Amino acid sequence: MLLPRTPSLRLDGRRALVTGGGRGLGAAAAAALAQAGAKVFPTARSLGEIEALVDAIRVEGGDAQAIGLDVTDIAAVRKCLAALPPFDILVNNAGTNRPKPMIEVTVEDYDVVDGLNLKASFFVAQAVVSQLSAAGRPGSIIHISSQMGHVGAANRTLYCATKHGLEGLTKAMAVELGPLGIRVNSIAPTFIETPMTRPFLEDETFRSSVLSKIKLGHLGTVEDIMGAIVYLASDAAALVTGTSLRVDGGWTAE
């Protein structure tokens, strides 16, 4: 009997763009893709962080190149990507949060959070997809969303709004781009210990509240997300599009 073969999780020969790649989930995504064989291009406004990441990837034998880029500058994004060959993989990771009561959210808060979490994600994806489409190539777009893209939470109305929007964008892009062979999915993590979340999690009351909702009883680590990224980027997920992979320890299960 000839057994079927598991599709490869290797990404050799593929080019991957990772926004917000200097730290936390972005750095982990870049490392995961490089370890799977992709040539990785992490981006961030600060070149120092991503250059250190690129050096670490190269020490391990991986292939990486830093790109200094403010993804909220749409004109700069278009100019930068137009000068580069198409990317087979995009991890739209750059994001931010300004948690506060809904009635205290300012117009500036809204513009900053929406501008990075949703607007920048849309136009970075547009630039990557435009090149793939022109070249007639398939690809994998991965939006880093959140469990807050599936539920609501006090003091996170703005963040929830942008992440729910990102989930809607994922589905609509999957429908539109499927005929082009471009898959679009999201990853929705629970609270992961990163530089962005650490200040909130240092509040013991808040930390206890978070842990009470995670059914597995512990916070996530960046390593918990790395396998999900490689899976969605690889041929093992060839029939997966329009899906949100919830890496949330069971938070949204009830």
Tens digit of each residue's pLDDT (9 = 90 or more) over 138-165 = 999 999 999 999 999 999 999 999 999 9
Distance of alpha carbon 137 from alpha carbon 85, whole angstroms: 12
pLDDT at 228 over 90: yes
Report pLDDT for 20.
Answer: 95
**Average pLDDT of the residues in 49-78:** 96
- What average pLDDT does the structure give for the chain? 96
Query: Per-residue b/e over 135-160, b at no fewer than 16 CB within 10 Å?
Result: eeeebbbbbbbbbbbbbeeebbbbbb
Catalytic center residues: 159, 163
Distance of alpha carbon 23 from the chain centroid: 12
What tokens were used for 20?
Answer: 């917000």
Q: Which domains does the chain have, with CATH numbers?
A: 15-248 (3.40.50.720)
**Average pLDDT of the residues in 71-94:** 97
Report pLDDT for 199.
Answer: 84
Report pLDDT for 203.
Answer: 87
Report pLDDT for 147.
Answer: 97
Q: With bands split at pLDDT 50, 70 and 90, how would you rate the model's confidence at 137?
A: very high
What would the pLDDT profile of 178-222 be if each residue is shown by its tens digit?
999 999 999 999 999 887 788 888 889 989 999 999 999 999 999
Report pLDDT for 168.
Answer: 98
